[in-house]
Amino acid sequence: MLKKVVFQTKSTLETIRVGKDIGRRLLPGAVVALVGDLGAGKTQFIKGLAAGVGIRNPTYISSPSFTLIHEYPGKIPFYHVDLFRLEKVEEAESLGLEDYFLGRGVMAIEWADRIPSLLPEEMLLVSMSYIDKDRRSIEIIGKGRRYEDLVNQVQSLELGVRRKKPKVNCEPAPPNE
Ligand code: ADP
Ligand code: MG
């Protein structure tokens, strides 16, 4: 069963904080697939993810120009894939993403919906959308056991079940009607 949690953030910083909280919980080999329109905040979220994974200076992370994949070295390496400029799936095939999935790094893939056939079965799916100038909705879905567990952890954090005061100060989004 798919596990899901939805956040609504009120600023760029809040989005980065949600990303960081999730990044801290990712294990080597983790894959995070991001979808959402231009300006939805995917790259900002990824800055948070990288910070949580332990990458130094994650603020330098930006949307790559002509390189589809950027590597940030660290104890756990971080790979940022941005498929915005991808013209056809074949271009991504040559990246050898499967090899990365088996590796010890964490990979975040922006515009993951452009390569559905290349995505692993188990991953964290992050779907972002624009609400207004400063607000974004972040839907996080776990596919596969360890990602479902992760969503459970984040969910309980959001509900205040965690004993430590949550660092992320975001309101849960209203349930779907
Ligand atoms: P994407 O990678 O999805 O195209 P970016 O992360 O590059 O989007 O850009 C999002 C833009 O929206 C940034 O300029 C960011 O500062 C702004 N923004 C405003 N509010 C938010 C928010 N709540 N979360 C994320 N970004 C936000
Ligand atoms: Mg981007």
Ligand 1 atom closest to Cα of 134? 20
Is the Cα dihedral 151, 11, 119, 59 positive or negative?
Answer: negative
Under a CB-based contact definition with an 8 Å cutoff, are residues 39 and 68 in contact? Answer: no
What is the rounded CA–CA span in Å between residue 153 and residue 161?
Answer: 9
Q: Which residue has the higher pLDDT, 49 or 161?
A: 49
pLDDT at residue 170 in the model: 55
Torsion angles phi and psi, residue 145, rounded to 5: -50, -55
Q: How far is the CA of 128 from the centre of ligand 1 (A)?
A: 10
pLDDT at residue 174 above 90? Answer: no
* Model pLDDT, residue 158: 62
Over the stretch 146-166, which tens digit does the pLDDT of each residue have? 999 999 998 877 654 443 444
Q: How far apart are CA 42 and CA 45, in angstroms?
A: 5
Taking only the tens place, the pLDDT of each residue in 74-110 is 999 999 999 998 988 898 888 889 888 888 999 999 9
- Distance from Cα 25 to the centre of ligand 2, integer Å: 22
Pocket around ligand 1 at a 6 A CB cut-off: 9, 11-12, 14-15, 36, 38-44, 63, 134-136
Mean pLDDT value across the chain: 88
Backbone angles phi, psi at 169, to 5 degrees: -110, 75
User: What pLDDT is attached to residue 161?
Assistant: 43
User: From residue 86, how far is each of 11, 94, 109, 120, 158 by CA, in Å?
Assistant: 29, 12, 12, 19, 35
Ligand 1 atom nearest to 136, measured from its CA: 23
CA of 14 to the centre of ligand 1 (A): 11
